[in-house]
Amino acid sequence: MNKPKVLVTRNIFPEWINYISDNSELDLWEDELPPPRDVLLKKVKGIDGILCLLTDKIDSELMDIAGPQLKVISQIAVGFDNININEATKRKIPVGNTPDVLTSTTADATWSLLMAAARRITESERFVHQGKWKTWHPLHFLGQDIYKSTFGIIGMGRIGYEVAKRAIGFDCKIIYYDVNRRKDLEEKLPLEYVDLKTLLINSDIISLHTVLNDDTYHLIGEKELNLMKDNSILVNVSRGPVVDSKALYNALLDKKIWAAALDVTDPEPIPNDDPLLKLDNCLIVPHIASASYKTRYEMSKISAENLINGVNKKSLITCVNPEVNY
C-alpha cells in the first residue's frame, strides 16, 4: 500500500523525523529559513498532511493547491494565527497545535524577560563586555523592583495563569483583563478582574498573553501606552502585532513607560534598522519563550503524532477545530 505523502517544513527533533519517515513518504525542508512561498506552494501539491511552523502561511490558496486529499495540518506551536482555520474547517481538515507542554516554559521565559528588563541585565552585561565598568556607583543601572508591585496580566489563559502563579512568590498584587472573566481561576489565586483601562492605569508590570486576532491587533497602541505609568514595564510573549511597534518606540523614547521586554515583534524577524533596536530600554529576544529542550521535544512529538494520526484519519491529540477532528 502507498504510504501517505507528508511535507515537514523544518527540522524538528530527529526521533520525531524518524517516526514521521517510518510512517509516511516524507518531504523534509531542511533549510534553517522557511521555504519561500512559491516553493511551499509547489511542494504541497498532492500531499496528505503538512507539519508547519508559525512562519508558514497556510491559507486557502495553499489548501486549494494541495488538493482535496489534504487530511491534516499539524502546527508545531500553540498559536495558529498563520493558519486560516475557517478555510480548513470548511474543507473538513483538522488543524493540530501543541498547547499545554509549553505553558510553564513560556511562563518562566516571561519572568526571565521581565526580570532582565526590570534590573537592566542585558544592558549592564553589554556595558561590562564593552570594557566600560570602571567602578561601583550608587546611581548606576538603577532599575525597578518587581516584588510587591501591581502585576497586570492581559489574557488569563493557561500561560497568563502560570505567570500569575509565579507573581504570588513576589508578593505582587495581581490584576487581570480578559474578554472572559475567569471566576474559576479567581477561586484558586488572588486575582482581581478589572477592565483594560483600569489595568493600564494601575499596573507597574503589564504582561501580554492574548491570542492574535482582529480584536487584539494593536490592542496596545498610543492611547493605551499613554495611560500606563512612567515606571511601568511591558512584556510581550504573545504575538508582535498585539502591540503597535511605532507607538511603543515613541513611548519608550519619551519615557512614557519605563521599559519593554519583547519575545515577539512585528514583523518577525525585526529588521536590522528598526529603531526599537537602538533603545536601551527595549529588550528583544527572537521568539524563544518555548525554547527549552524538554518543551521543544514535546512539541516535536505532539506535532509528529498529530500529523501521522491525521493522514491515517485518526483523531488528533490536540485539535484547534475539534468539530472536524477524526
- Identify which of residues 44 and 289 has a Cβ nearer to ligand DGY in the complex: 289
- From the CB of 300, what's the least distance to ligand DGY, in Å? 12
Judged by CB, which is closer to ligand DGY: 82, or 250? Answer: 82
Measured from the CB of residue 78, what is the shortest distance to ligand DGY in angstroms?
A: 4
CB 219 within 8 A of CB 172: no
In terms of CB distance, is 22 or 100 closer to ligand DGY?
100
Instruction: Pick between residue 55 and residue 89 the one whose CB is nearest to ligand DGY.
Output: 55
Cα 288 to Cα 269: distance, rounded to the nearest angstrom? 12
* Smallest distance from ligand DGY to CB 271, Å: 20
Between 103 and 309, whose beta carbon lies closer to ligand DGY? 103
Peptide bond into 269 cis (omega under 30): yes
Query: In terms of Cα–Cα distance, which of 192, 120, 184 is closest to 153?
Result: 192
260/249 Cα distance (integer angstroms): 10
Beta-bridged to residue 8, according to DSSP, are: 28, 51
Q: Residues 182, 205: contact at Cβ < 8 Å?
A: no
CB of 214 to ligand DGY, least distance (A): 18
Q: How many other C-beta atoms are found inside a 10 Å radius of the C-beta of residue 11?
A: 14
CA distance 196 to 210: 13
Q: What is the CA radius of gyration of the chain?
A: 21
Looking up cell 519572568, which residue turns up? 111
Dihedral of CA 85/237/30/20: which sign? negative
DSSP output for 50-77: EEE-TTS-B-HHHHHHH-TT--EEEESS
The residues of the shown chain that bind ligand DGY, judged by CB under 6 A, are 54, 77-79, 102, 290
First and final C-alpha spacing in the chain: 21
Name the residues annotated as catalytic.
239, 268, 287
Write down the least CB distance from residue 254 to ligand DGY, Å.
30
Measured distance CA(82)–CA(283) in Å, rounded: 25
Q: Residue 101 or residue 164: which is nearer to ligand DGY going by CB?
A: 101
Q: Which position has the grid cell 502560570?
A: 162
- Before 267, cis peptide (omega within 30)? yes
Q: Using CB atoms, what's the residue nearest to ligand DGY?
A: 79
Least Cβ distance, residue 290 to ligand DGY (angstroms): 3
Three-state secondary structure call for residue 214: coil
